[in-house]
Amino acid sequence: MIDVGCGSGKELKQLAEHGCVAIGLDVDATALADCRRANLPVVLAPAEHMPLRAQAFDGLICNVAIPYTDESQVMQEIGRILKRGARGYLCYHGFGYFLRYAVAGPGFRMRFYGVRSVLNTWFYRLTGSRLSGFWGDTLCQTRARLLKYYRRDGLKLVESRTGKKFLGLPVFIYHLVERV
């Protein structure tokens, strides 16, 4: 099993406690140092170019890491490293997540984060490119784009659900996919 964008290893720890052999992958060296201190196996690498063999994993989790990556490349990598029949548990921020920060974020910094993520998401929808620099650091995924990647990269959407909502829009989106 692999945890893509594992951060400090919250999910990795839970997987290990349930007897699951899992490794984490992330670009944040400080977060990975926390994982190593807890004896969790990790690799420092970008999700867009995972230094991992094709069809090596029988399971994957990716908890809110995709919004910070090149989503198209990461989906390609996910399709590449999963064995046929393997399942992936993916969690994305919904549009309500960013709207909530923009409207009701705690403090100016978080409100600005929400606003620029909304702007970047709309810019991406219109042009297919992110805004430059930190303006484009976070992107909200749309269902239509995700379904396009899944089709392209040999992934089938098995289950889709949303968590709580803000102004009627999902804050989190949960997808269970299977490598076909």
Ligand X SMILES: C[S@@+](CC[C@H](N)C(=O)[O-])C[C@H]1O[C@@H](n2cnc3c(N)ncnc32)[C@H](O)[C@@H]1O
Measured CA distances, 166 to 51, 129, 172 (Å): 38, 26, 10
- By CB under 6 A, residue 47 contacts ligand X: yes
Residue 115 parent element (H or E): helix 107-127
5 binds ligand X (CB under 6 A): yes
132 neighbors 150 (Cβ within 8 angstroms) = no
**Contact flag: residue 10 with ligand X (CB under 6 A):** yes
Residue type present at position 80: R
**Closest CB to ligand X among 31 and 147?**
31
Tokens of residue 77, six digits: 């990598």
| Other beta carbons within 10 Å of 82 | 26
- Would you say 140 and 121 are in contact if contact means Cβ atoms under 8 Å apart? yes
Q: Residues 16, 52, 55, 68: which binds ligand X (CB under 6 A)?
A: 68
Smallest distance from the beta carbon of 25 to ligand X, in angstroms? 6
- Say whether residue 31 binds ligand X (CB under 6 A): yes
The nearer residue to ligand X, 126 or 132, going by C-beta atoms, is 132
Strand-strand pairing, 82-93 and 172-179: antiparallel
Q: Is 27 in the site for ligand X (CB under 6 A)?
A: yes
Given 22, 40, 60, 65, the residue binding ligand X (CB under 6 A): 65
Residue nearest to ligand X (CB): 7
Between 139 and 180, CB nearer to ligand X: 139
Q: Which residues bind ligand X (CB under 6 A)?
A: 5-7, 10, 26-28, 31, 46-48, 63-65, 68-69
